[in-house]
Chain A
Amino acid sequence: MATEFKNGLVRWIDSRLPIFTLIDHSVGSAYPTPRNLNYFWNFGSLAGAVLVVMILSGIFLAMNYTAHTSMAFDSVERIMRDVNGGWLIRYIHMNGASMFFIVVYVHIFRGLYYGSYKEPRELLWIIGVVILLLMMATGFMGYVLPWGQMSFWGATVITNLFSAIPVVGGKIVTLLWGGFSVDNPTLNRFFALHYLLPFVLVGVVVLHVAALHQHGSNNPLGIQHKGPQDSIPFHPYYTIKDLFGLGVFAIFFAFFVFFAPNFFGEPDNYIPANPLSTPAHIVPEWYFLPFYAILRAVTFDIGIPFTHIVFIDSKLGGVLAMFGAIVLLAVLPWLDRSKVRSAKFRPLYFWAFWIFLADSILLGYIGGKPAEQPYILIGQFATAYYFLHFLVILPLIAKIETPKPLPSSIAAAVTGKEKP
């Protein structure tokens, strides 16, 4: 149904190109939204806002950046010192990457707590995992561009992950590098892809939103929307709430840009890349640390015990575990078979969620520590728990848990009037 507009010009355009109807149905008064959404539901729109900020600041950085090994580092320093306002644009872009991951990680854990991945939102969730992967690829390649020590060695370590693939691994790494080490061809293609992928992200985000609008937002009670009394129009109620949240978030973002611009960075990345000297302590950006800890946790070969027969050596094992940790997220709707979505009504899952969150934070902490004891052992236990959570604990809880009684409707729960 087309929305009726008061303005004649808008009506004229809309009957020929229904752009205003599309907007109204997406984020306007014609999009019914659960009336009980809390502030955790702000993080989706915040992520969209950060994506826009990243694309805009990135375009202006690209105007002054040179993707060549002999000039990249200096061109970034020129942006910082000589380009008008360059320091601001770069610090926005640099901290924006961290902001993007903060917002998206909150968004993901919101989905985990309130069971937003469950039927009928499985594809919405999987598209979200694809967005996370694209963000990781984009963030990783962007970090390489300043061509500092961490850029170079981060790129070396991560591209070498692919050498773990049996038989063709070495060839794939040569293909990725365009040479025999991370060098100028690598920097060039990373710049090209770093510019491309955000636009691919926009496309996938459109799919994410389209999938969201099919069944509408989940809500803190995790129960289906039953009638008009359960919902309110997106506009003006959630547009204003999202904008308020955006204002608060902008203050948080601006604090880092203006007062602690290098808080999330590594000092070593202000040393120009040197292919002959590895920094004593290579750490990826903070948002990769949990996955880096999982990568490093596999220090043993998997094969037949007490023989030399090895099926998966420790290197391949680490890489498989790391990618597996993300793939498991994608199949989560089929691992957690409980019909009840929200952890509010799931006494056992409630605790499993918080332990899992603590485990993820612990993995992040271990990922930033050197590969020494006791960190190796702690990392191995935390990694084992990560997989245990998805593969054993969630399916088991779904079987044995007795959920608390669900409210009859959203309206009944929020007005305190429980109807029979």
Chain B
Amino acid sequence: MATSADNAGHEGATRRDFLSLAAGAFTAVGGAAMLWPFINSMNPAADTLALASTEVDLSPIKEGQSITVVWRGKPVFVRRRTAEEIEKAKSDDTGALVDPQKDADRVKKPEWLILVGVCTHLGCVPLGNKVGESRGDFGGWFCPCHGSHYDTSGRIRKGPAPRNLEVPTYTFLNDTSIRIG
């Protein structure tokens, strides 16, 4: 059998080159395959995923009031909008929107606006859900961390946030209760 020294002057690859390359490639693939379970172990565990849905009773919420409920460790805003707020949200459909979306696409019933209460900039909880808190320049929510203003449909209007407040998946169980998730 030819040694690598014998082959040094020859054109093309040797048997040894092929073996080295194949062994190296398999080691790299094997290493990467071994790495994945460790990285994946950092993803949400089964018990975390199991905390999927929350039911909310809407009956105590009066017009103009908002409540905050917890869903998957995050706050969810439930606001019973006034007629003026709904009107304003609809008329702003054609306004200057950063992330254009119609108000009608963000609600199931215009009276009930349900949003994940997490600013789409860096994850703070915007103010405006409690009495006396600033609602920002557009009457919705105001994030104090970096100054994002949301309107009465939860759409981003001013500030660094890139997207509208997220609308979670929810269903009306009956007229006065919903299930989020």
Q: Which residues on A are within 8 Å of B, measured CB to CB?
A: 153, 156-161, 163, 174-181, 183, 185, 189, 275-282, 296, 298-299, 313-316, 318, 370-372, 376
Q: Is the CB of B144 within 8 A of A280?
A: yes
Question: Which of B36-44, B54-62, B82-90, B170-178 forms contacts with chain A?
Answer: B36-44
By secondary structure, the B interface counts as loop
- In the complex, 30 of the A-B residue pairs with CB atoms within 8 angstroms, ordered by the A residue number, are A153-B145, A157-B122, A157-B124, A160-B121, A161-B122, A175-B43, A177-B44, A178-B45, A179-B44, A179-B48, A180-B48, A180-B72, A180-B74, A189-B42, A276-B68, A276-B75, A278-B126, A278-B127, A278-B144, A278-B145, A282-B124, A296-B160, A299-B160, A314-B162, A315-B161, A316-B162, A318-B160, A371-B145, A371-B146, A376-B147
A157-B124, A157-B145, A282-B124 known; A315 vs B160 contact (CB < 8 Å): yes
Minimum Cβ distance to chain B for residue A371 (Å): 4
- The 9 A-B residue pairs whose C-beta atoms are closest, nearest first, are A181-B73, A160-B123, A371-B147, A180-B72, A160-B122, A278-B124, A278-B125, A157-B122, A313-B162
Determine the distance from Cα of A176 to Cα of B44 in the docked complex, in whole angstroms: 9
Determine the distance from Cα of A156 to Cα of B121 in the docked complex, in whole angstroms: 11
Determine the distance from Cα of A391 to Cα of B159 in the docked complex, in whole angstroms: 28
Query: Can you add 15 more A-B contacts, CB < 8 Å, to A160-B123, A183-B73, A278-B143?
Result: A153-B145, A157-B122, A157-B123, A174-B44, A177-B44, A178-B42, A178-B45, A181-B72, A185-B42, A185-B44, A275-B74, A278-B126, A280-B127, A315-B160, A316-B162
Give the A-B contact count at a CB cut-off of 8 A.
93
> What is the interface size of chain B, counting residues whose CB is below 8 A from a CB of the partner?
29
Judged by a CB distance under 8 angstroms, whether B167 is at the interface is: no
Q: Is the CB of A299 within 8 A of B42?
A: no
Minimum Cβ distance to chain B for residue A263 (Å): 24
**Chain A CB within 10 Å, residue with most, of B121, B147, B160:** B160
> Which B residues are CB-close (under 8 A) to A174?
43-44
Minimum Cβ distance to chain A for residue B73 (Å): 4
> Which B residues are CB-close (under 8 A) to A189?
42
Complex: chain B residue closest to A298, CB-CB: B160
Determine the distance from Cα of A372 to Cα of B146 in the docked complex, in whole angstroms: 9
> Which B residues are CB-close (under 8 A) to A372?
147
> Which A residues are CB-close (under 8 A) to B39?
175
Minimum Cβ distance to chain A for residue B42 (Å): 5
Minimum Cβ distance to chain A for residue B58 (Å): 19
> Which B residues are CB-close (under 8 A) to A180?
44, 48, 72-74
Determine the distance from Cα of A47 to Cα of B72 in the docked complex, in whole angstroms: 42
